[in-house]
């Protein structure tokens, strides 16, 4: 971590730095607190489409009734089938006729216009801001396959949560081009086809397309990246709303008092810092001897803080009575820069950096581990990887459901990774559950 060291003449007291940090965090929380989208309203902007025997989802991209969906949802319209948006099925059906505006079989994208049923448009995001493990949501109509047409849930859009798993490129068909997609965990079913994949701000990052085959990956779903959609829309001269910024909601969504209070606190912080620096400057000029003593004391305190960091207890993991892994202190290991990595054989899994002197809890549940691997073969809390100061890496299983293996030899469970863990070498293969999740140790 880089640290800012002001000159002695303008060195700030630790209390001032802490206050600045607290006020900054408060301002950020106020700024972002009102920025979350209204998910109930947003999900009802997605509509249910039917074209012949096909059903799917579609979402608005402009104010003129233009909607995006998948090509395979409306392909029967090319043979004369009508396209309809279904608003209600009970007590009487209410449908809105649509017209096919543009389509691409190779991209599996299409644009439909529904002139008499318009919704506020979704904002299309920029894929360059999307990261692996970023939270996303799928919106669509899986109920068309689960329920009878007269059941209310038939036209009730669903909202599911997940994370981005990987950035992939689909191999082209003989007459097509490669398509850039995301794999993610926000559950979709065939009725979701053509629906939006959105970030935490409600901005579209992809168009949901299909579920990956079980022999490729379990509980993994595909979405066409939104930048592919943008290019398709531009080529067909279809207007759309977009944003190239990261997931920060528009200023207009903030309440006035939140904005005013945030701006006021930031201004107060800046004025306070300026007054403090001016007073400190005047005091140092009148008391040069005190300034030298202050510098000496600060140096001693920084040295002691560094020693305390070096004597921090090593973390040992053990399973509690309720089965959850807990942390127990004991021993001491200084932290140092990571020079080791666990590299996956399949690129869809995350690379795991290792730090000498530190333990890493790995599992499927991001809220209960230090690093999450989104695979059903991996338990919620699967294993601990510990690395000593000499670079020796040890593996300790935490009683996982599918087991941990080094070259197909099962790793036994325990509570202390340093004393009970199995040594992992670069020539070994670390297998979590089965051959779908395999890592190798890389030194360098």
The predicted-structure confidence for 230-248, as pLDDT tens digits, reads as follows: 999 999 999 998 887 767 5
Length of the chain counted residue by residue: 444
Cβ within 8 Å of residue 378, ≥6 positions away: 362, 363, 364, 400, 402, 432, 433, 437
Residue with tokens 């006035």: 256
Omega before 205 within 30 of 0, i.e. cis: no
pLDDT value for 92: 79
pLDDT value for 5: 37
Geometric angle at alpha carbon 143, from 141 and 149, rounded to 5°: 110
Q: How are strands ordered across the β-sheet holding 340-344?
A: 352-354, 340-344, 438-443, 430-432, 404-406, 409-410
Tokens, residue 162: 């997940």
Tokens, residue 257: 């008092």
The C-alpha atoms of residue 300 and residue 133 are separated, in whole angstroms, by: 42
Q: What is the DSSP code (8-state) at residue 413? A: B
pLDDT, average across residues 41-62: 94
Tokens, residue 28: 């950020």
The C-alpha atoms of residue 399 and residue 401 are separated, in whole angstroms, by: 7
Task: Please indicate whether residue 295 or residue 322 has the higher confidence score (pLDDT).
Answer: 295
Cβ within 8 Å of residue 158, ≥6 positions away: 43, 138, 139, 140, 141, 142, 143, 192
pLDDT value for 382: 93
Domains of the chain: 8-33+254-310 (no CATH), 46-234 (2.40.10.120), 314-443 (2.60.200.20)
- Does the reported pTM lie above 0.85? no
Highest mean pLDDT among 77-81, 170-174, 254-258, 269-273: 77-81
Q: Residue 113 half-sphere exposure, CB side, CA atoms within 13 Å?
A: 9
Q: Does 84 have pLDDT greater than 80?
A: yes
Pairing of strands 352-354, 340-344: antiparallel
Confidence of residue 303 (pLDDT cuts 50, 70, 90): low
Contact (Cβ atoms closer than 8 angstroms) between residue 113 and residue 65:
yes
pLDDT value for 288: 60
pLDDT value for 256: 60
The C-alpha atoms of residue 136 and residue 196 are separated, in whole angstroms, by: 10
The C-alpha atoms of residue 382 and residue 400 are separated, in whole angstroms, by: 5
The predicted-structure confidence for 320-336, as pLDDT tens digits, reads as follows: 544 444 444 444 444 44
Contact (Cβ atoms closer than 8 angstroms) between residue 441 and residue 408:
no
The predicted-structure confidence for 333-348, as pLDDT tens digits, reads as follows: 444 444 789 999 998 9
């Amino acid at each position: 971590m880089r640290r800012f060291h002001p000159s002695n003449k303008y060195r700030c007291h630790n209390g001032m730095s802490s206050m600045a940090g607290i006020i900054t965090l408060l301002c950020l929380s106020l700024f972002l607190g009102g920025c979350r989208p209204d998910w109930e309203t947003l999900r009802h902007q997605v509509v249910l489409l039917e074209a012949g025997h096909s059903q799917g989802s579609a979402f608005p991209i402009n104010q003129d009734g233009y909607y995006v969906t998948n090509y395979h949802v409306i392909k029967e319209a090319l043979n004369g089938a009508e396209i309809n948006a279904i608003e209600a099925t009970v007590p009487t059906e209410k449908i809105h006729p649509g017209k096919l505006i543009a389509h691409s079989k190779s991209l599996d994208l299409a644009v439909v216009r529904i002139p008499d049923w318009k919704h506020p448009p979704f904002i299309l995001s920029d894929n360059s801001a999307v990261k692996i493990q970023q939270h996303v949501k799928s919106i669509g109509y899986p109920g068309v396959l689960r329920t009878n047409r007269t059941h209310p849930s038939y036209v009730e859009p669903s909202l599911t949560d997940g994370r981005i798993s990987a950035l992939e490129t689909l191999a082209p068909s003989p007459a097509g081009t490669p398509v850039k997609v995301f794999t993610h965990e926000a559950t979709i079913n065939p009725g979701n086809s053509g629906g939006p994949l959105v970030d935490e701000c409600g901005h579209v990052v992809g168009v949901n397309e299909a579920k990956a085959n079980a022999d490729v990956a379990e509980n993994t779903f595909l979405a066409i990246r939104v930048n592919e959609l943008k290019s398709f829309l531009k080529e067909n001269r279809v207007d759309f709303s977009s944003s190239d910024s990261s997931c920060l909601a528009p200023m207009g969504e903030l309440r006035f008092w939140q904005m005013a209070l945030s701006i006021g606190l930031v201004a107060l912080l800046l004025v306070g810092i300026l007054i403090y620096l001016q007073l400190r400057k005047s005091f140092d000029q009148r008391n040069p001897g005190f300034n030298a003593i202050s510098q000496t004391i600060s140096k001693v305190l920084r040295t002691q803080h560094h020693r305390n960091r070096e004597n921090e207890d090593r973390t040992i993991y053990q399973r509690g009575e309720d089965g959850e892994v807990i942390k127990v202190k004991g021993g001491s290991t200084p932290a140092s820069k990571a020079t080791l990595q666990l590299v996956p054989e399949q690129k869809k899994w995350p690379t795991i950096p290792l730090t000498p002197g530190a333990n890493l809890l790995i599992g499927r549940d991001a809220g209960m581990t230090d690093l999450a691997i989104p695979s059903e073969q991996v338990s919620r809390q699967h294993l601990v990887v510990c690395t000593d100061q000499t670079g020796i890496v040890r593996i300790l299983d935490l009683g996982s459901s599918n087991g941990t293996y080094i070259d197909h030899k099962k790793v036994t469970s325990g509570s202390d990774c340093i004393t009970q863990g199995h040594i992992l070498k670069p020539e070994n293969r670390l297998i979590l559950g089965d051959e779908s999740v395999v890592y190798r140790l890389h030194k360098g």
